[in-house]
């Protein structure tokens, strides 16, 4: 009888520990950037980054844009203090790649392409990216997100000729 109880408790405890460990390992990490206007614009919004396994889900909701495409990038510094957003530095590019579109396997980590605003100036983006990470030298944490005044042409080096910076937000982990 005592051996049965011990076996039952051992199995129950093992199952409980496995469940706890499994749930901790599968928990997704989340970060966000709250955009603030730059260069005299009225652009504001929120970008959420959710790490799911080997991919990063990026969801952006932005308003106050002019209708059309706008360059959308992660920049190297987590600093949005300059009125024109220049304090954010250049595109985040720790591996010294050429500028390209988000579908290119070789690109700046910060190259997210364009976000498209509708006639009312609102833009929504929901993409999954296999290059972005929260870990190591390529971590986007503490970097900034910049929305540009014009479309990124995805080819002009080193920035895509996307013009001025109309919004900036710093990427921080959230609970």
- 12 pLDDT above the threshold of 80: no
Is residue 14 domain-resident?
Answer: no
**Which CATH number fits the domain that encloses residue 169?**
2.60.40.200
Residue 10, in any domain of the structure: no
Q: Give catalytic residues, as residue numbers.
A: 73, 75, 91, 99, 108, 111, 148, 165
pTM: 0.81
Q: Is residue 124 part of a domain?
A: yes
Asked, for residue 85, whether it belongs to a domain, the answer is yes
What average pLDDT does the segment 128-141 reach? 92
> How many structural domains are present in the chain?
1
Q: Is residue 18 part of a domain?
A: no
Among 52, 105, 43, CA closest to 72: 43
Average pLDDT over residues 127-149: 94
Handedness of CA 25, 26, 27, 29 (dihedral sign): positive
Domain that holds residue 70: 29-174
């Amino acid at each position: 009888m005592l051996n049965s109880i011990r076996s039952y408790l051992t199995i129950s405890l093992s199952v409980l520990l496995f469940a706890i460990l499994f749930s901790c390992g599968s928990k997704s990490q989340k970060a966000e950037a709250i955009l603030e206007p730059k260069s005299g614009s009225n652009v504001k919004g929120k970008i959420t980054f959710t790490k799911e396994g080997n991919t990063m889900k990026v969801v952006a909701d932005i308003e106050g844009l002019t209708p059309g495409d706008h360059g959308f990038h992660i920049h190297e510094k987590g600093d949005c203090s300059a009125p024109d957003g220049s304090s954010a530095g250049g595109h985040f590019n720790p591996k010294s790649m050429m500028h390209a579109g988000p579908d290119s396997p070789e690109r700046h980590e910060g190259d997210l392409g364009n976000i498209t605003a509708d006639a009312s100036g609102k833009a929504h983006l929901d993409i999954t990216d296999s290059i972005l990470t929260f870990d190591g030298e390529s971590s986007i944490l503490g970097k900034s997100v910049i929305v540009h005044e014009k479309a990124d042409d995805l080819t002009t080096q080193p920035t895509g000729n996307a013009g001025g910076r109309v919004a900036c937000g710093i990427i921080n982990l959230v609970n």
